[in-house]
Amino acid sequence: MFRKKNVHSTKAHRYISFMIMSNPSKSGKVVTFPKWGIVLILVLLIGSGYGIAKVTAYVGDLKYSTEVAKQEEGIAHKTNDEKQEYIESLEQTTSEQEIKLQEVQGQAEQILEQIEKIKEMKEDIDEKLGNDGASIDKDEVATTNTLDTSNAVAALEVTPRNIELTTLSAGGNATGITNFDVEYDNLKSMLNEYTEALEFEYEEYDERNNQVDELLPYLAAKPTGYPLDSTYITSAFGNRKSPFNRRRTEFHSGIDLKAYYKQDVMSTGKGTVISAKYDGTYGYCIVIDHGYGLKTRYAHNSKILAKVGTVVERGTVIARAGSTGRSTGTHLHYEVLVNGVAVNPEDYLN
């Protein structure tokens, strides 16, 4: 317990006395302080309070700054995560696009291979027709042309960069993806159309090729072209004035062709020689059976070269031209018979 005593009057009241009484039953102790000490204590107390307040404020600011930093770091991490997630999403999209492009590229390559097969098949058909039936009307084995293969080849030059891939950037948008999907759908639709057309085209060519294979023996056998080189018709098929009696009309069962003596006489189709002999009317005459009900006769020859039973090809030399039998001069009498009936050979010359 403190009690203030009188301040010393000496030294201009420079001191202040306090009595400290720990027990009321006893006399207290007097403690004297100089005035400037009290002031110092007050200053120290005030300064300490200010310092403590300042430290407290600093600590508060520090805690706030730390919390803000943590929040900013969290936001930064969240943004980076979102960016990473977006990039990974774009990478996944691009990977899927690459797979789709590989798919359509593979389909395009198959289409190009199919086109090549069809072209080879067509060339094979043309070659067969050229070698074995050059003068046959190709409508008999007509091939289709529903697909322009040259345009198809140009259109199907497909690579993974024909369609622009999505750019891997955090600032990208869905435009690239949308454009890709549209172009992919268009390309896929075009490929499907080509595939369908090619399947039909291939079936048509395959059918025609089979027909050609079936027709080849007929094409080879069918009488085609002239049996002489460098010739022309001197007397046509049908009714005519008799060369032996101009006042009479007779039926001419073949055509007469201009020839020079011993000129090569050739078979006009593949067949088997069924007759090779001299005849009073036809002179030295050869008859060839071509099958399919077709036969040809070559008359008035000077010499027979082919024997009965011989299989001859188109262009095989079978006799020498002459004027034997009922003839007025060197020439070749040529007949075409269908099922035993003479028809106009001019229908078989081209």
Is 177 found in the same domain as 245?
no
Among 221, 251, 267, identify where a domain stops. Answer: 221
**Is 253 found in the same domain as 343?**
yes
| Predicted pLDDT of residue 223 | 96
Out of 200, 221, 242, a domain closes at 221
Report DSSP state, residue 33.
Answer: E
Q: Clarify whether residues 316 and 241 are in a common domain.
A: yes
pLDDT at residue 150, as a whole number? 46
For residues 191 and 117, membership in a common domain is answered with yes
Per-residue pLDDT of the chain (350 residues; tens, 9 = 90+): 444 444 444 444 565 555 555 556 666 566 565 655 555 555 555 555 555 555 555 565 566 566 666 666 666 666 676 767 767 777 777 777 778 778 877 877 887 887 888 888 888 888 877 765 444 444 444 444 444 444 444 444 444 444 444 444 434 455 555 677 777 788 778 878 878 887 888 888 888 888 888 888 998 999 999 999 999 999 999 998 888 777 788 899 999 999 999 999 999 999 999 999 999 999 999 999 999 999 999 999 999 999 999 999 999 999 999 999 999 899 999 999 999 999 999 999 98
pLDDT of residue 10: 46
- Per the structure, the complete domain to which residue 264 belongs is given by 233-348
In a domain, 127, yes or no: yes
Question: Are 213 and 247 part of one and the same domain?
Answer: no
**Predicted local distance difference test score (pLDDT) of residue 205:** 80
Residues 239 and 191 in one domain: no
Are 344 and 241 within one domain? yes
Please report, for residues 55, 132, 312, the alpha-carbon distance to residue 218 in angstroms, rounded to integers and kept in the order given.
Answer: 117, 9, 14
Return the SS3 of 298. Answer: strand
The amino acid present at 266, given as its one-letter code, is M
Distance CA 26, CA 86 (A): 87
Boundary (domain end) residue, out of 188, 221, 254: 221
Q: Report the chain's terminal Cα–Cα distance, integer Å.
A: 151
| Whether the predicted model's global pTM rises above the 0.75 cut | no
One domain for residues 210 and 265: no
Looking at the fold, whether 209 and 240 belong to one and the same domain comes out as no
Two tokens, residue 141: 């084995």
* Residue 261 is assigned to a structural domain of this protein: yes
Q: What is the CA radius of gyration of the chain?
A: 59
Find the helix or strand (DSSP H, E) in which 184 lies: helix 175-221
In a domain, residue 72? The reply is: no
Confirm whether 258 is domain-assigned. yes
Q: Provide the CATH number for the domain around residue 240.
A: 2.70.70.10
Q: How many domains does the chain have?
A: 2
Residue 104 pLDDT: 74
76 lies in some domain? no
Task: Report if residue 281 sits inside a domain.
Answer: yes
pLDDT for the residue 327 = 92
Q: CA nearest 216: which of 266, 298, 291?
A: 291
Distances (CA, A) of 103 to 91, 96, 110, 193, 221: 18, 11, 11, 16, 50
DSSP letter at 337 equals E
Are residues 134 and 237 located together in one domain of the fold?
no
Could you tell me if 159 and 115 lie in one domain? yes
Secondary structure, 3-state, 234-290: EECCEEEECCCCCCCEEEECCEEEECCCCCEEECCCCEEEEEEEEECCCEEEEEEEE
Give me the numbers of helices (H) and strands (E) for the chain, helices first please: 3, 15
79 lies in a domain? no
Distances in whole angstroms, Cα of residue 16 to Cα of each of 1, 35, 44 = 16, 6, 19
Residues 265 and 210 reside in one and the same domain: no
Asked whether residue 148 is assigned to any structural domain, the reply reads: yes
